[in-house]
Amino acid sequence: MVKKNSIPDRWRSLKSIGQRVPGARFIAFKVPLKGVTNQRVTQNQKFTPKDLITAIRSQSEELGLIIDLTNTERYYTTKDLPKSVQYVKLHTAGLKIPDDATIHQFKRVVWKFLAANSDNDRLIGVHCTTGINRTGHLICRYLIDVDEWRPLHALSAFAQARGHPIEGTVYIEDIVKGPPRSNVGIDMPPAIGETLDGGDDTYSDDMPR
């Protein structure tokens, strides 16, 4: 059983945050940890939600949305984020390709954010635990399925921006050889009461914290 405030495997050794994917509005990073958990790491390893916002601003960028792909609630809460940053939780299991419904939901959340923020350049931050495999796969799927990027270009651009390449063979094979997933309905507005994050919070531009 995983301890409540334990540090994820490999977390300490990974680059905290990458840079913006060139030609897109994605930025990938490892999961930030709440303050009590960061007491277990060195000062140089510390990476909290506040550190995340500071790091992105230091790149002269602004974060508008976080899509959290971790399959747990233990790392941090929305109370740790500024109210200006929207948050969507998509519970996504590791070590396997997300199902088509999750891929579609991810693309729909991204599409809705980009449509609502066409007048600005705010970034979409995406993370799983490491910010590499699940994160890279879903970002690449969007770039390939929606923006019509070539698979190898998407893979390369993500690796360069994140500072770590996608490692999981199943993810790489799906990106390179897998079929395009349907985009039908990703541009549809949510139904009344519908949640796009699979949780209790309705995804909206003024989502309460």
Residue 52's pLDDT is: 98
The full set of domains in the chain, from first to last, is 11-177 (3.90.190.10)
Give the mean model confidence (pLDDT) for residues 9-33. Answer: 97
Q: Are strands 63-68 and 123-127 parallel, antiparallel or unpaired?
A: parallel
Pick from 48, 54, 50: which is nearest to 36 by CA? 48
Active site (catalytic) residues: 128, 134
| Span 60-92, pLDDT tens digits | 999 999 999 999 999 999 999 999 999 999 999
- pLDDT exceeds cutoff 70 at 183: yes
Query: Above 50 in pLDDT, residue 42?
Result: yes
- Alpha helix (H) ranges present in 43-168? 49-58, 100-116, 133-145, 151-162
Who contacts 60 (Cβ-Cβ below 8 Å, separation ≥6)?
none
As a whole-number percent, the residues of the chain with pLDDT over 70 amount to 89
DSSP string, 20-42: PPTTSSEEEBPPP--HHHHTTS-
Give me the pLDDT at residue 102, please. 97
- For the stretch 103-139, pLDDT in tens is 999 999 999 999 999 999 999 999 999 999 999 999 9
Instruction: Give the per-residue pLDDT at 19.
Output: 98
pLDDT band at residue 191 using 50, 70 and 90 as cut-offs: low
For the chain, what is the mean pLDDT?
A: 90
